[in-house]
Homo-oligomer: A and B are copies of this chain.
């Protein structure tokens, strides 16, 4: 896609934009353009030509209709917490911020469903349904600032996927504005759906390239009364990773199963003011949560897991009993990405493999790192086989970081693919991973994706330059 295909914003288009969405929702001041020129992806910056903040479906429809006619690129943006650059306006044009779609429209306690707008912050939604005794279990680490619409766009996960399933199980129906301005509901407000191609599922994970989501119907489930959180300490990464699949083989499904490398914990302690007694000889941790309505059952599962952990050389198990202890441990895990960022320039990869392949993955990461001269710190949703690899620039020269590292990352993804996995489990492809897609997907496969894109967006105006 060449930028020459796109029309630059000119005063005439700007006037029409204002007419379409309301002048008060259109921003061209330098400060706004700068604010929306980046997300959480590395240190990348791309400036939009105009920022638009509509507040309803009709305005989004009018905006897209106009931009489709004029061939103006539109980049939708949620909370701006993305790690793959999907919200970066690489061709300029319109940055469409969904931040004014902030309403939790309804929480239907009869049907255990909710209807929300995409600009609702994920944690606020979780809390709102929690007050009614209900659970929406999709809680990425960025839950305090990410939007539920961005979660849909990226197929986001979080720690509780391991028990409760992915976001795909919780999104029932979507109101979507197509790039041409038409509005559809993708499915029905039902738990099952066998009525033609599932456009709801196609929209999930499409990173804002097929349409702009303006309403979301979610499934909810009863919230468990109790939870217990354990932290197991291991001398080695490999044995901690090996314990993961053994836990499931013992017949147990925890409500979370997270892996953390020592260095990640060190940096959290250093940069996030979290107190934690980090013992010598400990190099890896598993954080394991159980939930349920019966403490006896939870304790039985804890005992079974304890036995598995010991078998894999776990030297110490900490139980977080109080709500505060649990919150501190979860904070440690959730703030790891930002702590790593505080320490050094870094790149984050989001590998996912079948879970028994985790030991091979982590050993492979370190081996590739030693050949390319990069350090790494890994953590993530080990129960799903999903490991976030933070590659640290540290002592690497700017040149190597810019030129040589790419080959190392390609090797990482080749390893991931060889282990039966793929390039991203929950962060998406966006801008920064798209060059690696051919490692996993054939040209035929990528062309199917490209052609589906053109079905929805014949003029390629919506979030161009992403995924493929």
Residues on A facing B (Cβ under 8 Å): 108-113, 133, 154-157, 161-162, 165-166, 168-169, 178, 182, 184, 187-199, 201-202, 204-206, 210, 221-223, 245, 248-249, 251-253, 292-294, 296-297, 300, 350, 352-357, 381, 384-386, 417, 420-429, 433, 437, 440-442, 444-446, 448-449, 451-453, 455-456, 467-468
Contacts and interface: CB of A to CB of B under 8 A. Distances in A.
Contacts of A201: 168, 198, 201-202, 204
B182 A444 contact: yes
A434 to B, nearest CB: 9
B194 A425 contact: yes
Interface centre among A109, A197, A202, A300 (most CB of B within 10 A): A197
A157 B168 CA distance: 16
Given A109-B249, A189-B354, A296-B296, 17 more contacts: A110-B245, A110-B356, A111-B355, A112-B249, A155-B193, A155-B194, A166-B169, A178-B444, A187-B422, A188-B420, A190-B420, A190-B421, A194-B205, A196-B437, A197-B205, A197-B449, A452-B452
A204 B433 CA distance: 26
B161 A352 contact: no
Contacts of A204: 198, 201
B194 A198 contact: no
A269 to B, nearest CB: 29
Contact of A191 (B154, B166, B292): B166
B437 A195 contact: yes
Nearest to A225: B251
8 A-B pairs with least C-beta separation: A188-B422, A110-B356, A192-B425, A201-B201, A189-B420, A222-B251, A111-B354, A451-B455
A164 to B, nearest CB: 9
15 contacts: A109-B249, A154-B194, A155-B198, A168-B201, A178-B448, A182-B444, A184-B442, A192-B426, A193-B352, A194-B428, A195-B422, A196-B205, A196-B467, A294-B294, A448-B456
A234 B420 CA distance: 50
Contacts of A445: 184, 199
A199 B447 CA distance: 12
B353 A196 contact: no
A112 B467 CA distance: 30
A423 B440 CA distance: 37
A197 B251 CA distance: 33
B297 A188 contact: no
Contacts of A444: 178, 182, 184
A157 B113 contact: no
Contact of A192 (B157, B251, B297): B157
Contacts of A354: 108, 110-111, 113, 189-190
A246 to B, nearest CB: 9
A122 to B, nearest CB: 16
A22 to B, nearest CB: 26
B188 A352 contact: yes
Contacts of A108: 354, 356
Given A165-B165, A178-B444, A294-B297, A193 B437 contact: no
A142 to B, nearest CB: 14
A468 to B, nearest CB: 7
B425 A193 contact: yes
B190 A353 contact: yes
B467 A421 contact: no
Contacts of A195: 422-424, 428-429, 433, 437, 440-441
Contacts of A112: 245, 248-249, 355
A192 B352 contact: yes
